[in-house]
């Protein structure tokens, strides 16, 4: 389907913001398509927006929750994951979806990315991976390709690109997927699986930035991406690693699933009563607490 | 004959000084004495030289004294380590067999190991030592054996019994020594002593947090802030507290804010260096108007500094933490009661005003053990201020007092949208200068109400008649009180602040025509400067110490004595 | 007839307003005018409403004015966006074909696109617009075409030629319009104008850093601090500068300190939120006595705030950043010359005193473009203060002035050992209270010398005779000067601080018997408070603004006018 | 060789500190053995201590540089890598060795670990991996085993342990190795290879903590560790990944080597003249710089 028609032909979902709202993204940006995919996925999963919290950091991608009618925690650059963790632990009835950029998630927020995966809490992380810092005008991001020149990297990027899938697999993330924003339909399907997954799910989404990334364009992705075969074994972690570091074709789809990992909130024994409903100590319990030190 | 005794137990890390002092504090308290202990130790797990001071006093005296009346030396280098505090009057208890005769006449040979082995194993020597002390002072042995029975119940009867034997051997030795050396404790024990609880500052903080309805903590270990984290981590099930050990301090505060946004009553605990990393999060709390309580257990900086020592150097840091202007409150309790109470206030104020609230303590306060009447430990009502949202809910609705009703996601029909960017009433990003102006005011206006309701300081002694007010905050509460008492000079009165920001404007009248001294454990006099700025009054003298040690009663007395003769 | 004109170019992000203003500033400067521009824009890459003001003045006037004499509207919502600044006198230049007649009589239909298409492509419309302005004011067209030839040289002759055609079409239109509408610029151009350079604040900062011998920067992008990083990144080869884009701000400052330890002259650049994360690093710099220059490009907080707007809200943050007590210096330049000079001072002081030195700027200062006489741009000697170590070298040797000679690893026979823990003269961990005490003093003592040598503020107008001194710091230098000039009231004098900490004690005498006003771009008056605290004087009035916009000359005049009648 | 005799029989190296120096580690701790291995490695490589900088963060492990006679940068908890980067970029003639703990490197410092590897700068990182926070008295570290109880984790550690080798491989670290402090001789050999490697080398060293880690004891490691076979293919990244995530036996040795990755300092064109010798601008160059803006 052609880009413009995909966007214009906007599905009416309960997550659409009032029409007047000013979307601060550039025309033609992959973010628009990804937004559509995410809203449709949420809609098709029948999620109640009152129980949905969209969490993000700062960046162009991180504006996504501004455009989704749901609860929103638009926090600090790089710090979406700890906030999402806190939210989910405080109320596990909430559906918590993190949307953020590659810089936000793998750069400033890299440490949280590592340790959130280790925890395996039931949240979904969707990364708008445009391989560049959009909002701050085009510097290299952790996923920028080597050699790409930018206003700051005039001699080209020198660092090995961060491979989010490989790192997630190294950490034994239980749901690891990659999508391409240019394909709204299949991205939506992958996002649906991720949200439906009961545990930490990460979807790295290739997202063309039409202003600052002249290397990884729609055309570029179109030529290089290909979906994993139907019979791909999603339980083979080492196999998935091999596919994730493969360079000639960039594979899309669900690389790895591991339903065996126990969730953090279950191990902690967190029940369904949210913390805002906890009962404070009564006088007796308080006295008992104090009297431990008699 | 001692009416106020200071005993110091010193040895290497890992030698179990705490076993001795834990037992003694418990038994002496049971017996009816006023007890206090404080500890100093090195940043290492084994070896080195650490020490714990125990005071037994008739009046309640919860302060560190320099003087050592009795020193129990458990390792070689003890005297070297404590040489500045040992005088000709100091009695040293040590095993001559182990350490030789290095400590001369003032040393009483105390064969701890010998008795311990007699009881079954050299490992009991700490129990022997506690026995010696109790024997010397004629504290009924049964109190000790009862304690040991409970303590070692889980380890089986044999162990308990052997401990009791060790205790008894030490006890007899102590009794005999007391007789020979003419040692006795002259403390009158009131017939009807009110029930008292015994705990350290970290425990008080934990009790305060639990009582305040705290149900979420995400933090990263850092001395001396870790105590609170451990306290809560060991009570998750009992009190329904969610405890998360964060990967770093940045994660800790952001998780706290996420949880708080979703309705948890959240706290974070750290020390200065870890707090540096939380500052952007503090700023976020200010922007999204989300409550958070922040405990900073102060220790000497800059950087890693002296990780196990004490200082009050993070006031300015807390005061100005996080970029941008927004309201905050800073508590600085100095007694167990104040810790328990201000912690509860901290949670309630954070919720009411939707702001970050700080509790500043320090290593000395957190790790000192003292007693408090059980009946005086008070619970405050847990105030939540949450509303059930309606469909038209706006998280940042403009209101007269600048406080927008706070909803949480999933509770009601509305959506709760918070944003670290400047936002409109709905929480949506805005670049309107007009909304910006109003939001800045909104975030600042609550300071007025916070000032008017700020805690009044505590008066020590005859404040009205005093020419000079000596002012303290935080952990110096007791040392000031005792110093003034020892000084016994009606020209000096004391004022202690358990809230250092904002200050209640009423205090200004207290200072009329007084000379002001401020004592604090830092190098520059941070509170003195704050007080001077806020009240416009000159501080005549700053009594400062930033060596990593707490003030001793003696040096405060000296400092004041000296000023008296200026 | 304009003697001082304010033109505003406004459109959506990505429409190329900078192409117009860049060309105009260059050509007008070449012609001999005094020019100034400042920009305001939204935090987005495309769309929205941004604007740049260009002033052409006879006197040097490098300040933002509210008044718009001419408005070039490049998109629909311009007038809505700027409505508060448009008056009946504002001439609006817009394409009626595109935007219709919405702007009424004051609108001059300016068919930019039509001419651009005539020249070869709609893309040239920005060049047409610049041509219109130059034509109106009768600035020789050759200056413009010469500029275009150079600018588009790389793109081939055809492009250059088409640009020149577009310029000429605009130019003729402008000339004709001027004649019809009776527009003219009445500015006398001195016959012999000294050579002047034209640049924005970020460029001045970059020049200052290069001149200061800066050879290392590790930083993370954050507006408005990124400009310096980009400047240096584009000159790595030319000046031998090592540039590293860090993964976060924590890495940035720690890399800076590592490099500095090894002998680099290092700077970091960021804004308030990123700086929050650097605070532990600042504390480390204090502890290991390692020089570092920190540039904070201020913007409105808290949290993400208004990322592309301006504020002076991070003074308190810089003042108290990092736990623990240690010396620091804070510069706050307000002119291109001050930026270039204080940046060099910052590096030299950081090296001399082995401390963190801050440069506080803001979005307004960094992105405003103005001119400065080339001959007045001064280079300072690059001072390094490094010693070649000997075998007995001690990094923290106690000396009289508290400054230990600084060696670097690999230079000499000694070892250079630095430690974030409290340390002895060799840099080894220590827990000695005595060494601790001396090290704390060592780190603080240098403040005295820093105070005595602190920069004096600049006087504006008749400071001696004035009853009221209006005080500014940082970016408000020019707006204050112009406001006082416009006000023309000898009762007011101005004082501008390009160093805000420490303050030279000599300033106290300046304030004798004066009423003091402080103007600053924040909500609470941070410098006013600092000044009042340091000098013990009352600040009669704080003139504050924290909307995200800079002060306008008009509002400062109004504010002072009003006080005059109080 | 028996533990005590290994330690007592201290090799005399130029890196030994004066005898009186107080080593703050517990008797029996694996740190002593690792210190010996590192000092011997440095000695055998013939490194001049005047050109060696030992860099660390904070923790028990991070005290190592205190006990090595060389230049020292003992920085902040978690921040050894950025400091090491700055040092090496300022003077590439220096040999830069980072020694730190598992908490320091993979917890507080996790983000720097990711991005230092991406840069591939020629430094060596030796992690004292005792699977616990030693200095702060026994809390879980990122590498703590699930289920281990600690003063803070009384119900046992719930997070998936961080696998440093797998993550390093995911980031295409060019030299990835694991050692065991209990074997001083072979640890020394691995450390020698790491330091000799011209690029970023990471050696994760199992280090028994005899006070706080009662799970991963000398005995435990002895039973579970085994060296990679002689013929292990160090160029097979996916294969190495499979071996790194293997649980039944914990493999020791060099898992992966990749000499192909270009070093950061080379790409930047950093020469051998250290920055402390750079010449400031002369008046002419300064005028030229200013005159660009005429
Ligand atoms: C602490 C901090 N540092 C830096 C910034 C500036 N900043 C905002 S967004 C961003 C990068 C965004 O990149 P990415 O996450 O890839 O999002 P994109 O704009 O490309 O969608 C940066 C560096 C900030 N807001 N806060
Ligand atoms: C910012 C900061 N947070 C926390 C600490 C406290 N701290 C010091 S060392 C340490 C953990 C050390 O663990 P590891 O790196 O594994 O070293 P080990 O002691 O086990 O060798 C912590 C949490 C600190 N010094 N600084
Ligand atoms: S800058 Fe790039 S990522 Fe951002 S909205 Fe524009 S096209 Fe999209
Ligand atoms: S605490 Fe553990 S790691 Fe630290 S020195 Fe002791 S045994 Fe070693
Ligand atoms: Mg991006
Ligand atoms: Mg460890």
Beta bridge partners of C72: C9, C93
How many beta-carbon pairs under 8 angstroms link A with D? 106
pLDDT digits (tens, 9 = 90+) for A134-174: 999 999 999 999 999 999 999 999 999 999 999 999 999 99
| Continuous segment of H or E residues that includes residue C55 | strand C47-57
Nearest to D71 by CA among D101, D98, D104: D98
Helices C433-452 & C336-353 angle (0-180, nearest 10) = 150
**CA D27/CA D13 separation, integer angstroms:** 21
- For A77-102, how does the pLDDT look when each residue is reduced to its tens digit (9 = 90+)? 999 999 999 999 999 999 999 999 99
Asked if D108 and D77 touch (Cβ cutoff 8 Å), the reply is yes
The CA distance from C269 to C243, in Å, is 12
In the predicted structure, residue B566 carries a pLDDT above the cut 80: no
Which residue in B98, B99, B52, B97 sits closest to B71, CA to CA?
Answer: B52
Pocket of ligand 2 (CB under 6 A): B 220-222, 249, 273-274, 277, 304; D 58-61, 77, 101-104, 108, 128, 130, 132-136, 141
Which among B455, D78, D59 has a CA at the least distance from the CA of C251? D78
Tokens of D117: 């590897």
> Per-residue confidence at B565, pLDDT binned at 50, 70, 90?
low
* pLDDT tens digits along B413-459: 999 999 999 999 999 999 999 999 999 999 999 999 999 999 999 99
The residues, ordered by sequence, that sit 6+ positions from D111 with a Cβ below 8 Å of its Cβ are A108, A109, A110, A111, C247, C248, C250, C251
Task: Give me the pLDDT at residue A9, please.
Answer: 46
Q: Number of H helices and number of E strands within chain C?
A: 20, 21
In the structure, how many helices (H) and strands (E) does chain B have? 20, 21
Residue among D136, D137, D205, D209 whose CB has most ligand 2 atoms within 8 A, to mutate: D136
Q: D121 — contact with chain A (CB < 8 Å)? A: no
Q: Which residue did the predictor score with more confidence, C364 or A2?
A: C364
Contact C362, C315 (CB under 8 A): no
Q: How far apart are the CA of B415 and the nearest CA of chain A, in angstroms?
A: 5
pLDDT band at D10 (very low <50, low <70, confident <90, very high): low
List, in order, residues 6 or more apart from C104 with CB less than 8 Å away. Answer: none
Contacts of B290 (CB under 8 A, 6+ apart): B257, B260, B261, B284, B354, B418
Per-residue pLDDT 10s for chain C (566 aa) are 899 999 999 999 999 899 999 999 999 999 999 999 999 999 999 999 999 999 999 999 999 999 999 999 999 889 889 999 999 999 999 999 888 887 778 899 999 999 999 999 999 999 999 999 999 999 999 999 999 999 998 999 999 999 999 999 999 999 999 999 999 999 888 888 899 999 999 999 999 999 999 999 999 999 999 999 999 999 999 999 999 999 999 999 999 999 999 999 999 999 999 999 999 999 999 999 999 999 999 999 999 999 999 999 999 999 999 999 999 999 999 999 999 999 999 999 999 999 999 999 999 999 999 999 999 999 999 999 999 999 999 999 999 999 999 999 999 999 999 999 999 999 999 999 999 999 999 999 999 999 999 999 999 998 999 999 999 999 999 999 999 999 999 999 999 999 999 999 999 999 999 999 999 999 999 999 999 999 999 999 999 999 999 999 999 999 998 876 55
Query: DSSP label at D3?
Result: H
Residue with the bigger pLDDT between B316 and A5: it is: B316
Average pLDDT for chain B: 96
**Please, what is the angle between helix C226-233 and helix C201-211, to 10°?**
50
The answer to whether the CB atoms of C303 and B287 lie below 8 A apart is yes
Token output for C398? 């106690």
User: Residue B273: enclosing H or E segment and its boundaries?
Assistant: helix B272-288
Would you call the peptide bond into C340 cis, given omega within 30 degrees of 0 as the criterion? Answer: no
Domain positions in chain D are: 2-291
Q: Beginning with the edge strand found earlier in the chain, give each strand of the sheet holding B417-419 in spatial order.
A: A225-227, A250-257, A175-180, A201-206, A124-129, A95-101, A52-56, A71-74, B417-419
How many angstroms is it from A80 CA to the middle of ligand 5? 15
Give the single-character DSSP code of A160: P
Instruction: Please indicate whether, in this complex, the C-beta atoms of D66 and C242 are within 8 angstroms of each other.
Output: no
Subunits with 3+ C-beta pairs closer than 8 A to D: A, B, C
Phi–psi pair at A244, nearest 5 degrees: -70, -30
The closest alpha carbon to B204, from B365, B57, B41, B313, belongs to B365
C184 CB neighbour count, 10 Å cutoff: 13
> For residue B67, which of B81, B53, B77 has the smallest C-alpha distance?
B53
CA of residue B53 relative to chain centroid, distance: 16
- Whether D6 has a pLDDT exceeding 60, the answer reads no
Closest CB from D24, D139, D212 relative to B44: D24
Q: Which two tokens stand for residue B73?
A: 């030396």
Q: Which contiguous run of DSSP H or E holds residue B26?
A: helix B17-31
**Interface residue of D20, D31, D142, D154 to substitute, partner B, most B CBs within 10 Å:** D154
Cα(B555)–Cα(A122) distance, integer angstroms: 57
The predicted-structure confidence for A36-69, as pLDDT tens digits, reads as follows 999 999 999 999 999 999 999 999 999 999 999 9
Q: Nearest-5° angle of CA A201, CA A204, CA A208?
A: 155
| Cα–Cα dist C75/C16, whole Å | 11
pTM of the model: 0.98
Token reading at A236 = 């083979």
pLDDT at residue B388, rounded to an integer: 98
Write the CATH number of the domain with boundaries D2-291.
3.40.50.970
For C165, counting Cβ atoms within 10 Å of its Cβ (0-12 exposed, 13-18 middle, 19+ buried), the class is: buried
Q: What is the dihedral of CA A81, A85, A91, A96, to 10 degrees?
A: 30
Residue B192 pLDDT: 84
> Which of B360, B336, B370 has the alpha carbon at shortest distance from B204?
B336
Tell me what pLDDT residue A4 has.
44
Q: Compute the radius of gyration of chain B from its Cα atoms.
A: 26
Q: Which ranges in D9-123 belong to alpha helices (H)? A: 30-44, 80-90, 102, 110-119
Which of the 8 DSSP states describes residue A182?
Answer: T
Beta bridge pairs of residue B267: B217, B293
Residue B337: count of CB within 10 angstroms of its CB:
17
Q: Which residues of C touch A62 (CB under 8 A)?
A: none
pLDDT of residue D8: 47
Tokens 């004959």 belong to B1
Å from D215 to nearest chain A CA? Answer: 20
The whole-angstrom separation of Cα B272 and Cα B301 is 8
Distance, in angstroms, between D282 CA and closest chain C CA?
A: 9
Model pLDDT for residues B93-146, shown as the tens digit of each residue: 999 988 888 777 889 999 999 999 999 999 999 999 999 999 999 999 999 999
Token digits for C502? 């420490």
CB contact under 8 A, A117 and D160: yes
Respond yes or no on whether the N-terminal peptide bond of residue B302 is cis (omega within 30° of 0): yes
Query: What CA–CA distance (Å, rounded) separates A60 from A209?
Result: 10
Closest residue on chain D to C288 (Cα): D75
Q: How many helices and strands in chain D, by DSSP H and E?
A: 11, 8
pLDDT of residue A195: 98
Count of Cβ atoms closer than 10 Å to residue C195 Cβ: 10
Would strands C515-520 and C541-544 be described as parallel, antiparallel, or unpaired?
A: parallel
How large is the C-alpha radius of gyration of chain C?
A: 26
Could you tell me which chain C residue has the CA closest to the CA of B321? Answer: C317
Radius of gyration of chain D (CA): 20
**pLDDT score for D9:** 46
> Distance, CA D128 to ligand 6 centroid (Å)?
7
Q: List, in order of start, the domains of chain C with CATH numbers.
A: 4-181 (3.40.920.10), 199-376 (3.40.50.970), 386-453 (no CATH), 458-564 (3.40.50.920)
Mean pLDDT, residues A22-28:
95
- Residue A203, SS3? strand
How many whole angstroms separate alpha carbon D92 and alpha carbon D79?
20
| Of the candidates B175, B155, B165, the residue with the CA atom closest to the CA atom of residue B128 | B165
Ligand 3: residue whose CA is nearest its atom 3: A209
Q: Calculate the CA B204 to chain-centre distance.
A: 8
Q: Are C408 and C262 in contact (CB under 8 A)?
A: yes
How far is the C-alpha of D95 from the C-alpha of B350, rounded, in Å?
A: 51
| Cα within 13 Å of Cα(D289), Cβ side | 27
Give SS3 for A63: helix
Rounded to the nearest whole angstrom, what is the distance from the C-alpha of residue B121 to the centroid of ligand 4?
25
Residue that has been written with the tokens 């030279």 in this structure: C504
- What is the rounded CA–CA span in Å between residue A152 and residue A140? 8
**Nearest-10 crossing angle of helices C157-181, C125-137:** 40
Residues surrounding ion ligand 6 at CB below 5 Å: D 101-103, 130, 141
pLDDT over 80 at B563, yes or no: no
Query: B touches which chains (3+ CB pairs under 8 A)?
Result: A, C, D
As a whole number, mean pLDDT of residues B151-156 equals 90
**Residue ID of nearest Cα to ligand 1 atom 4:** C222
Q: What's the gap between Cα A165 and its chain centre?
A: 12
Partners of B406 in beta bridges: B386
* Residue located nearest, by CA, to atom 6 of ligand 4: D26
CB within 8 Å: D74 and C411: no
Under DSSP, the state recorded for B185 is: B
Residue range B465-488: mean pLDDT, rounded: 97
How far apart CA C144 and CA B279 sit, in angstroms, is: 50
Which of A66, A276, A291 has its CB closest to that of B374? A291
ipTM over 0.95: yes
Question: Of all atoms in ligand 2, which is nearest to the CA of residue B248?
Answer: 3
Q: Are B377 and B370 in contact (CB under 8 A)?
A: no
């Amino acid at each position: 389907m052609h880009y413009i028609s995909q966007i214009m032909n906007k599905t009416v979902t309960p997550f659409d913001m009032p029409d007047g709202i000013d979307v601060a993204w550039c025309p033609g940006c992959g973010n628009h398509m990804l937004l559509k995919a995410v809203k449709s996925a949420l809609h098709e999963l029948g999620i109640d927006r009152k129980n949905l919290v969209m969490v993000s950091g700062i960046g162009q991608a991180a504006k996504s929750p501004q455009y989704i009618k749901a609860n929103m925690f638009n926090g600090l650059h790089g710090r979406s994951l700890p906030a999402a963790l806190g939210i989910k632990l405080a109320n596990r009835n909430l559906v918590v979806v993190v949307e953020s950029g590659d810089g936000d998630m793998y750069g400033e927020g890299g440490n949280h990315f590592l340790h959130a995966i280790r925890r395996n809490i039931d949240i979904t992380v969707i990364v708008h991976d445009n391989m560049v810092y959009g909002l701050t005008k085009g510097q290299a991001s952790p996923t920028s390709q080597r050699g790409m020149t930018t206003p700051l990297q005039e001699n080209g990027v020198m660092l090995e690109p961060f491979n989010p899938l490989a790192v997630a697999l190294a950490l034994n993330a239980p749901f690891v997927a990659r999508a391409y924003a240019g394909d709204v339909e299949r991205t939506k399907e992958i996002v649906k699986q991720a949200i439906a997954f009961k545990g930490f799910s990460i979807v790295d989404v290739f997202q063309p930035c039409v202003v600052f990334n002249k290397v990884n364009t729609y055309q570029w992705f179109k030529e290089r991406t290909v979906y994993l075969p139907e019979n791909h074994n999603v339980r083979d972690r080492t196999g998935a690693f091999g596919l994730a570091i493969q360079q000639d074709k960039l594979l899309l789809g669900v690389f790895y699933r591991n339903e065996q990992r126990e969730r953090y909130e279950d191990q902690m024994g967190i029940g369904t009563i949210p913390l805002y409903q906890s009962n404070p100590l009564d006088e007796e319990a308080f006295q008992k607490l104090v009297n431990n030190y008699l | 004959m001692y009416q106020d005794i200071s005993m110091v137990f010193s040895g290497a890390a890992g030698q179990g000084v705490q076993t001795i002092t834990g037992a003694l504090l418990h038994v002496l308290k049971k017996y009816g004495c006023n007890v206090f202990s404080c500890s100093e130790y090195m940043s290492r797990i084994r070896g080195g030289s650490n020490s714990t001071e125990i005071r037994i006093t008739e009046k309640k005296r919860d302060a560190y004294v320099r003087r050592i009346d009795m020193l129990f030396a458990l390792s070689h280098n003890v005297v070297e380590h404590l040489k500045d505090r040992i005088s000709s009057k100091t009695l040293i208890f040590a095993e001559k067999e182990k350490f030789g005769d290095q400590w001369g006449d003032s040393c009483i040979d105390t064969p701890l190991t010998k008795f311990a082995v007699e009881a079954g194993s050299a490992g009991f020597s700490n129990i022997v030592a506690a026995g010696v002390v109790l024997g010397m002072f004629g504290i009924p042995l049964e109190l000790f054996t009862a304690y040991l029975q409970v303590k070692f119940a889980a380890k089986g009867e044999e162990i308990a019994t052997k401990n009791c034997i060790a205790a008894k051997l030490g006890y007899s030795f102590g009794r005999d020594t007391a007789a020979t050396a003419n040692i006795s404790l002259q403390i009158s024990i009131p017939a009807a002593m009110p029930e008292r609880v015994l705990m350290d500052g970290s425990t008080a903080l934990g009790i305060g947090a639990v009582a305040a309805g705290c149900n979420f903590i995400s933090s990263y270990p850092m001395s001396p802030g870790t105590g609170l984290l451990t306290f809560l981590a060991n009570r998750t099930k009992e009190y329904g507290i969610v405890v998360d050990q964060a990967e770093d301090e940045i994660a800790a505060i952001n998780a706290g804010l996420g949880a708080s946004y979703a309705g948890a009553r959240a706290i974070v605990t750290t020390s200065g260096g870890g707090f540096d990393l939380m500052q952007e999060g503090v700023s976020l709390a200010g922007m999204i108007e989300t409550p958070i309580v922040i405990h900073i257990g102060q220790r000497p900086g800059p950087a890693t500094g002296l990780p196990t020592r004490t200082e009050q150097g993070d006031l300015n840091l807390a005061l100005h933490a996080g970029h941008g202007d927004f309201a905050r409150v800073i508590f600085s309790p100095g007694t167990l009661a104040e810790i328990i109470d201000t912690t509860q206030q901290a949670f309630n104020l954070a919720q009411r005003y939707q702001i970050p609230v700080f509790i500043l303590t320090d290593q000395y306060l957190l790790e000192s053990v003292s007693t408090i009447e059980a009946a005086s430990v008070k619970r405050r009502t847990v105030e939540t201020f949450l509303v059930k949202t309606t469909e038209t809910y706006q998280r940042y609705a403009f209101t007269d007092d600048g406080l927008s009703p706070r909803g949480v996601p999933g509770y009601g029909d509305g959506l709760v949208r918070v944003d670290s960017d400047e936002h409109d009433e709905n929480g949506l990003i805005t670049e309107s200068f007009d909304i910006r102006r109003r939001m800045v005011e909104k975030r600042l206006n609550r300071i007025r109400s916070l000032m008017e309701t700020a805690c009044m300081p505590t008066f020590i002694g005859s404040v009205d008649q005093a020419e000079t007010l000596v002012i303290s905050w935080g952990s110096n509460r007791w040392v000031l009180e005792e110093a003034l008492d020892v000084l016994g000079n009606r020209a000096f009165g004391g004022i202690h602040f358990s809230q250092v920001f904002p200050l209640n404007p009423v205090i200004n009248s207290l200072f009329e025509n007084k000379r002001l001294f401020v004592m604090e454990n830092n190098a520059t006099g941070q509170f003195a400067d704050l007080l001077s700025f806020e009240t416009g009054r000159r501080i005549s003298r700053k009594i400062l110490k930033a060596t990593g040690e707490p003030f001793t009663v003696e040096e405060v007395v000296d400092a004041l004595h000296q000023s008296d003769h200026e």
